[in-house]
Amino acid sequence: MANFVLVHGAWHGGWCWQRVQLPLARAGHRVHAVTLTGVGERAHLLSPAITLETHIADVAGAIEAEELHDVVLAVHSYAGMIGTALADRMGRRLRHLVYVDAVVPQPGESWGSTHAPATREARIAGAAASDDYSLAVPDPAAYGLQGADLDWTRRRLTAHPGHTYEAMLDFDPVRVAAVPRTFVSCTAPALPTIDPIRPRVADPGFWNGAWRAGAGARVVELATGHDPMISLPAELEQILLGCA
Element (H, E) at 71: strand 71-76
* Beta strands 134-135; 160-161: pairing state: antiparallel
The boundaries of the domain holding residue 159 are 3-243
Q: Tell me the pLDDT tens digit for each residue of 58-80.
A: 999 999 999 999 999 999 999 99
Is the Cα torsion angle 139, 140, 141, 142 positive or negative in sign?
Answer: positive
Amino acid found at 243: C
Q: Tell me the pLDDT tens digit for each residue of 81-98.
A: 999 999 999 999 999 999
Residue 1 has pLDDT above 90, yes or no: no
pLDDT of residue 214: 85
Identified catalytic residue from 47, 77, 185, 231: 77
Mean pLDDT computed over 1-21: 97
What CATH code is carried by the domain that includes residue 226?
Answer: 3.40.50.1820
Give yes or no for a contact between 219 and 201, defined as CB atoms under 8 angstroms apart: yes
Q: Kindly provide the b/e burial profile for residues 127-161, where b requires at least 16 CB atoms within 10 angstroms of the residue's own CB.
A: beeeeebbbeeeebeebbbeeebbeebeebbbbbb
Domain count, the chain: 1
Q: Tell me the pLDDT tens digit for each residue of 142-172.
A: 999 999 999 999 999 999 999 999 999 999 9
Residue 108 has pLDDT above 90, yes or no: yes
pLDDT of residue 67: 96
> What's the chain's average pLDDT?
97
Mean pLDDT computed over 212-234: 96
The reply to whether 113 belongs to the active site is no
SS3 category, 53: helix
Tell me the C-alpha distance between 73 and 90, whole Å.
12
Beta bridge partners of 169: 109
Instruction: Specify the DSSP class assigned to residue 226.
Output: S
